[in-house]
Amino acid sequence: MPRTPIADVPDGAARKISGRIELEDAAIRSPLTGTECSVWAITVDEVGMGDSVLRGAKCQGVPFRVRDASGVARVIPDGARLGTTGKAFNYLPGA
């Protein structure tokens, strides 16, 4: 999906946007790293011989704004499909 300038996104529409995040309220903390963030997500995968099975997932977020050169969008993370360029950590028991 190509990126859409925020000014061209109809209210309530799902589009791919990018820009700078501005928190509306206090940040939350990631339960794994303790870092402040607007959204965190954790998935638990069971990895076997050549396959992987999702065993659990949890996420939490607070409303925030995304600003680009064309405007500002308010994002409510509940139920949103979000992709980030943030950090990812892998934990492999016994490794």
Contact residues for 31 (Cβ-Cβ < 8 A; gap 6+)? 40, 42
Percentage of residues of the chain with pLDDT beyond 90: 29
Cα–Cα dist 31/41, whole Å: 9
Task: Return the top range by mean pLDDT from 27-31, 67-71, 78-82.
Answer: 67-71
Output the CA–CA distances (angstroms, integers) from residue 9 to 6, 15, 30, 85, in the order listed.
5, 7, 30, 21
Nearest of 92, 2, 95 to residue 46 by alpha carbon = 92
Three-class DSSP category at 8: helix
Residue 95, pLDDT score: 46
- Count of other CB atoms within 10 angstroms of residue 6: 19
Percentage of residues of the chain with pLDDT beyond 70: 82
Residue 8, pLDDT score: 95
pLDDT greater at residue 46 or residue 82: 46
Cα–Cα dist 6/19, whole Å: 9
Residue 66, pLDDT score: 93
